[in-house]
Amino acid sequence: MINIFLGAPGTGKGTVSYLLKKNCNYKHLSTGNIFRNITKRNTQIAKKVRDILKKGELVDDQLTFKVLLEDLEKYNLKKDNIILDGYPRNINQAEILLEYFNRHYKDLKISVINFKLPESVIIERLTNRLICPKCGKSYHKIFFELKPQKEWYCDDDGTKLIQREDDKIKSIKKRLEIYNKETKPLIKYFTNRDILINVDVNDSSEEVYKKVFEKCQN
Ligand code: AP5
């Protein structure tokens, strides 16, 4: 089964994905994490992707689908519970994805969870986010439940936490602008296909996790 996590930056898609992976063995595919790993390499593509991510813009659709497919094809799409976190992000990407599923996996169950959160809360969450550069796990500097046990090291692997380059206010504003222009139209696109489920994520991470888990099961 495919669960597409749709939502603006900072709505908690990665945080819920981490919990579903840890507690319920969901497979978590995040195009953002894939690209952040690519930027660690010493190649021309890594340099190009690094510049795009820093500015908060989108990587081109062809490269994005190529890197997604490399990971997606490792799984059994009919048996595994798969989360697509951050993909698709525009109508063209959605068409490419649905066309691929239609061609290779005719009866695949697909649902889209739309994470809904006011923009003021998004900005507060993103400016206080720290991530583990090794495993990608997100933390929050202030909220007790999302703070690391030891300041500022990853609970899972002990790596020193960092702020993401694109969590500076200028990049956040750019990402929100791109979300509104390119990604938001997907709400209507998936509603028209009757596969979109809205979830109000202005709640504690535990509550959000429970709500999303319940929707993923239906
Ligand atoms: P990506 O990594 O996907 O970034 P994003 O969509 O901007 O999403 P975020 O990771 O910022 O937010 P999130 O919803 O996962 O929030 P989180 O759980 O961390 O993409 C990065 C870049 O890669 C893009 O800008 C683009 O350049 C490129 N890219 C990726 N996919 C692409 C695609 N398909 N096409 C083209 N380019 C692509 O939570 C945020 C904060 O809130 C954390 O601090 C967390 O601790 C806290 N928090 C979470 N839940 C709660 C809660 N319930 N209460 C309080 N705080 C909470």
Ligand 1 pocket, Cβ-based, cut-off 6 angstroms? 7, 9-15, 30-32, 35, 52-53, 56-59, 64, 86-87, 89, 93, 125-126, 128-129, 138-140, 143, 146, 166, 175, 203-205, 208
Question: Which pLDDT score, from 0 to 100, does residue 217 have?
Answer: 78
Ligand 1 centroid distance, CA of 86 (Å): 8
Ligand 1 centroid distance, CA of 9 (Å): 4
* Within-domain flag for 15: yes
pLDDT tens digits, one per residue of 11-33: 999 999 999 999 999 999 999 99
CA distance 99 to 110: 13
Question: Which pLDDT score, from 0 to 100, does residue 145 have?
Answer: 93
- Eight-class DSSP state of 8: -
Question: Which pLDDT score, from 0 to 100, does residue 81 have?
Answer: 96
In the block, residue with structure tokens 């690209």: 35
CATH of the domain at 75: 3.40.50.300
Q: How many structural domains is the chain composed of?
A: 1
The domain containing residue 46 runs over which residues? 2-118+182-217
pLDDT tens digits, one per residue of 127-174: 999 999 999 999 999 999 999 999 999 999 999 999 999 999 999 999
Ligand 1 pocket test: pick from 17, 20, 29, 59 the residue with the most ligand atoms within 8 Å of its Cβ: 59
* Within-domain flag for 14: yes
pLDDT tens digits, one per residue of 185-212: 999 999 999 999 999 999 999 999 999 9
Cβ atoms 5, 190 nearer than 8 A: no
* Within-domain flag for 147: no
pLDDT tens digits, one per residue of 42-51: 999 999 999 9
36 Cα nearest atom in ligand 1: 23
Question: Which pLDDT score, from 0 to 100, does residue 218 have?
Answer: 67
Ligand 1 centroid distance, CA of 33 (Å): 9
CA distance 164 to 72: 25
Look over the chain and give the mean of its residue pLDDT values, rounded to a whole number: 96
